[in-house]
Amino acid sequence: MKRLENKIAVITGGADGIGKATSLMFASEGATVVIWDLNEQKGNEVVSQILAEGGKAEFLNVNTAQFQQVENATNIVIGKYTRIDILINNAGITRDATLKKMTPQQWQEVIDVNLTGVFNCTKCIGQYMVEKGYGRIVNASSVVALYGNFGQANYAATKAGLIGITKTLAKELGRKGITVNAVAPGFIATEMVKKMPAEVLKSMEEKVPVGRLGYPEEIASAYLFLVSEEAAYINGAVLSVDGGITI
């Protein structure tokens, strides 16, 4: 028996990086994966890979920062599958700059996607989880929420905000059969990160006690654990997957 057999999973930002790894892993564990992303080409490529491997998946072009788009997408998924069992709030962006140089637009764009987007998705999907008396929600925080990071006031604020909303919703929804948890990744070797200069990557690796960057699949594994039945009694937790960088 696969761990997510017959589960319906919405994964935001599921077309690339950690989201892609999560989509592939969840599909391999039996879930029907619904990718919400703005990158239609990459999203459909992931869907094609899943289908080729015998899994079940589809793609919807959704800007999670727009409530109406999220509501419409939710209705489409519910109309087709009648329920959503799992929500991975993985979508996120960066617009890095120091406070002195950060524009109001850079601030607001990150707030809209990383924080408001999670509210939009959780509000729209959560109501159907409540109706069914079952749900697993995982929010993508970050180690920068725990110790800050130079030039990322907007990003750190949103990721810290996600810890707050995770703990609050865990209290609100726990008695309704829904668990809400967060994962706080450290430095992860996504395609974007691997394109950084070698000296920068080396510097990042040296900061991590285990001496390397993490892999997207290692974050996906944390998501998988938290939505599995093995984690049914874990609620309101923040799981740091960072090689020990926050020690």
Q: What does the H/E/C string look like for 70-108?
A: HHHHHHHHHHHHCCCCEEEECCCCCCCECCCCCCHHHHH
CA 185 to chain centre: 10
Question: Are the CB atoms for 134 and 91 separated by under 8 Å?
Answer: no
The tally of CA atoms less than 13 A away on the side-chain side of residue 211 is 0
Q: Can you tell me the distance from the alpha carbon of 77 to that of 217, in angstroms, rounded to the nearest whole number? A: 26
Residue 127's region, left for phi above 0, alpha for psi from -120 to 50, else beta, is alpha
Residue 147 annotated among the catalytic residues of the structure: no
DSSP, res 176:
G
Contacts of 28 (CB under 8 A, 6+ apart): 2, 53, 55
- Among the options 81, 155, 215, 223, which is catalytic? 155
Residues annotated catalytic, as ranges: 155
